[in-house]
A and B are shown apart, each in its own frame.
Chain A
Amino acid sequence: MTYTTPIATGHEGSVRDQFRAYLQRLRGGEMGALPAMLALVVLGILFSSLSPYFLTTGNLANLFVQASALMVIAFALVFVLLLAEIDLSAGVTGGSGMAVFQVLNGNLGWNWIVSLILALGMGAFIGAFIGFFVSRIGVPSFVVTLGLFIALQGFMLLLLGDGGIFRLVQPELKSIMNNNMPIWAGWVMLAIAVFGSLSLSLADRRRRTKVGLPTRPFIMLLLKVGTIAVIGAVIVGLLSVNRGQGLLAVEGVPIVIPIVLLILVVGTFVLDRTLFGRYIYAVGGNPEAARRAGIKVAQIRLYAFIICSSLAVVSGLLQASRIGSIESTAGREIVLSGVAAAVVGGVSLFGGRGRLAYAAIGALVIAMIDNGLGLIGFPAAATFLITGGVLVAAATVDALSRRRSGVALT
């Protein structure tokens, strides 16, 4: 048996080789969240030059909080978008979960934690319902979830009554979107993030060395962790400054941020490092190939919908916390913004390509457009027009890059 020189693994070579390989991938159409990140920078420069308030710490905190509910619903949708499915009912699923919470906690006086868990259970049930129709019966998810989008609005009216609006009284839940952590907690959060990222990278590196594979230059690992540390420190630092305008000090990282980060990190871990995550990508890429490889495609689809609907309830909670009330009309608009956020961030509508982090960046873009145009004093009409335009542009980039990577065929 003749052994030729080993086939490369993509980890060889200097930093320069790595950079060149990255540029090649970009040209090949694997752009990921790069367009969205550029949009973020351009929008940031544009708005800060047009409005003196845009770059204030108060607005920064506001932007993150505004984006957080959108981010979570976009995370939820990523799980089904990766399968080339859609969940149009995710928004009202969140609303329905909170309606269940209101009935249990508000009307029946059950413990709020128990009620919240049951609200999440409601989400999981809705997800299982969608998953059953999509994966076992074969109804297109577009139709099933459109039906649920309508039906769940009726369900909310049924539970909360016509025009029902109830105040969210539980202080713990209200403070998620409206209060901040103590300043030290923000720094602890950053330290955990940096330490976690560093030790995970080192563990991966050790494993590769042990098996006998080449590793990337160590400086790249430091660069990656360093970037997280620096950007994180800037943000936590800015949020630690008192941004209150009155006598009361407003400072610290909003409580919602670690919650969103946790969902992002755990979700990414599941998608990247577990069998389930791998199978989601496989089913999204080529369901027939996945089936022949012995993957239980229907089961993967079912679980993805359950995760999506459960996370949608978390998003519903964040929305309720922000406005301080549970409403029978909640969640009708946010789902489309959530799809927009994911697609703008670089998650493919055709399935198989995308990450939670992309959706997070996309959600920041959408929230920034909303926030910035509001500050400049543009009418709501402009916000809608521009957001819509950005979405179509993003979907076009998606379709074009898909076509480019398909050129290599034959």
Chain B
Amino acid sequence: MGTTLVELSNVTKSFGPVDVLKGVNFKVEEGKVTALVGDNGAGKSTLIKGLSGVQPYDGGTVSFAGQEVSLRTPRQASSLGIEVVYQDLALCENLDIVQNMFLGREEKHLTLLDEASMEFAAQKALQSLSVRTVKSVRQKVSSLSGGQRQTVAIARSVLRNAKLVILDEPTAALGVAQTEQVLNLVRRLADNGIAVVIISHNLADVFEVADRISVLYLGQMVAHVDAKKTTRDEVVAYITGSKTPEGVA
């Protein structure tokens, strides 16, 4: 049992008459990978957008490292150490790896960009994740493969000293070998003590990498199970709603 880093209790969110989150409880532990699964429209994205401060929750409480916090803006989230790696990556193809990893948080030396320090730190961050697939940190992102881009995007969160990294469908567009690389990276991220939330439709990936599996069904958290103590069929049953929660509020 790791220590709980983030705990959502009874969070709600509605868009007009539609209740997307109907009082969700969710818990993320340090050094663990928590998979968030659920069918389309179950509220996964809405839950994540609330955590990243992009779209604040309407009600409920969020506690971070035991303290109740307010998450109204992306800046608040990132100052707590919450980083989101989006599905569409958000990298600038015309810039190189170092420039992308530091985008928006460049280091400066005498008011000018401190390329040397940034290059060094980027190198260290990639090394700490045992990344071997990247040839040079000064490669342009346009010359990288999908898996390498995902690697850069994930390493960026490490560089920012993230405590919680949320990955939105990180393997959706990747081939077999690249998926393997990225999942290994996710594992190492957790091994470094970071709390990881991974959203995925691919249950094979989920079972390979996750410690805990949380299932959303129509805006309600129907299961929060240990990945080792459950089966694929059980998770699918929760996702499709054919199995109902036993006392999970």
Binding site for B on A (CB under 8 A): 1-4, 6-11, 28, 30, 204, 207-208, 210-213, 273-275, 278, 281-282, 284-286, 288-290, 292-295, 351-353, 405-406, 408-410
Contact = CB atoms under 8 A, between A and B. Distances in A.
B64 interface: no
Contacts of B145: 408, 410
Interface size class of B (residues with CB under 8 A): 35 or more
A101 B181 CA distance: 63
Interface stretch (B26-34, B124-132, B197-205, B214-222): B124-132
Contacts of A406: 142
B146 A7 contact: no
B90 A8 contact: no
Given A7-B126, A273-B113, A213 B142 contact: no
Contacts of A278: 99, 103, 106, 113
B143 interface: yes
A2 B130 contact: yes
A212 B119 CA distance: 10
Nearest to A1: B128
A275 B135 contact: no
Contacts of A293: 90, 103-105
A7 to B, nearest CB: 5
B123 interface: yes
Contacts of A28: 143
Interface in B114-151: 114-117, 119-120, 123, 126-128, 130-132, 134-140, 142-146
Chain A interface, DSSP helix/strand/loop, else mixed:
loop
26 contacts: A2-B130, A9-B119, A9-B137, A10-B136, A10-B138, A10-B139, A28-B143, A30-B140, A207-B116, A211-B116, A211-B120, A213-B123, A278-B113, A282-B92, A282-B103, A285-B95, A286-B93, A288-B90, A290-B92, A290-B103, A290-B104, A293-B90, A352-B93, A405-B93, A408-B144, A410-B145
Contacts of B92: 281-282, 285-286, 289-290, 352
Given A10-B136, A281-B94, A286-B93, 6 more contacts: A1-B128, A3-B127, A11-B138, A210-B116, A274-B112, A278-B103
B69 to A, nearest CB: 20
Ranked 6 nearest A-B pairs via Cβ? A293-B104, A285-B92, A352-B94, A285-B94, A10-B138, A289-B90
Contact of B123 (A9, A281, A288): A9
